[in-house]
Amino acid sequence: MESLLSLFSFAFGAIIGSFLNVVIFRFNTGKTIGGRSCCASCGRTLSWFELIPLFSFISLGGKCRKCKSSISSQYILVEFFTGLLFLLVALKELSFFSDLSPESVLGVVVGWLVVAILMVVFFYDLKHMIIPDSLSQTLFLVAVGNFVLNLFLFNAGVGYAYAHLTSALIFAGFLGLLWLISGGRWIGLGDAKLATSLGLLLPLSSGLSALAFAFWIGASVALVKIAHTRLSESQKRITMKTEIPFAPFLIAGFILSYFMQSDIFHISNLFL
Ligand SMILES: [Zn+2]
């Protein structure tokens, strides 16, 4: 039973992932989400067997069947990681499928929605250096809905409200301040908006850990990028103005902290 539910969670995630790919590629391009997918190179409409998540990409060797041009690796990355994260969310929220209480099921639904939205934000921000407002707003609705349902339907208690609200305030305040003092050069206002929802989804202990992870990962990637640029022949200098999108780090930090229920600052006992 557990293995069946695990398989279902992964497969469901991979299918959602293949839909998210369409959203990432077509969002704000004027193209509709509907309509058959076609090769980005030769425009040939893809047949049904070329649209099976993961399998199609692997069996085609990552190349178009007709024009042999490479298919973006984003396809398989999004399908695989959405599947993996959907599985991990289900395992975590349902305690390895042993707890099917309404609270836990809500946890899975919210977790899956959050993963789907963050997957689009992650790749969209990498490509376009901007977080569409509609995505931040959808995430905000999910975060508020989760908070309200836990508080009023499942009586999560004052401690829950306090831990999640302070987390949201610190995320919003800290990133808002960075945005303000840097005049939008270090991080965008979109990052601060996204962060507020991410903060609300976590209790303060995990929230602070997520912020720390985000900055550590961001700093590591920036250092590697600087070293790489120094070594490359172009010798283009990386400055503070070199745009590195921040949302992917924020999302990575959030996901790490969510799964590990991290409390690197040991503050969760403050609320007990
Ligand atoms: Zn083609």
Other C-beta atoms closer than 10 Å to the C-beta of 45 total 10
**CA neighbours closer than 13 Å in the CB half-sphere of residue 120:** 26
Reading the chain (272 residues) residue by residue, the pLDDT tens digits are 888 999 999 999 999 999 999 999 888 777 777 777 888 888 888 888 888 899 888 988 989 988 888 888 899 999 999 999 999 999 999 988 888 899 999 999 999 999 999 999 999 998 888 888 899 999 999 999 999 999 999 988 899 999 999 999 999 999 899 888 988 887 888 888 899 999 999 999 999 999 999 999 988 988 888 887 777 755 555 554 456 788 999 999 999 999 998 777 777 666 54
Q: Are 146 and 258 in contact (CB under 8 A)?
A: no
Residue 195 corresponds to which tokens in the numbers above?
């962060």
Rounded Cα distance between 42 and 126, Å, is 25
Instruction: Using a CB cutoff of 5 Å, list residues around ligand 1, an ion.
Output: 39, 41-42, 64, 67
From the CA of 127, how far away is ligand 1's center (Å)? 22
Tell me which DSSP letter residue 237 carries: P
CA of 64 to the centre of ligand 1 (A): 5
Q: Which of 11, 136, 176, 177 is nearest to 80 (CA)?
A: 11
* Domain segments of the chain as ranges: 1-98, 101-272
pTM score, whole prediction: 0.89
| Nearest alpha-carbon partner for 150 in 183, 109, 122 | 109
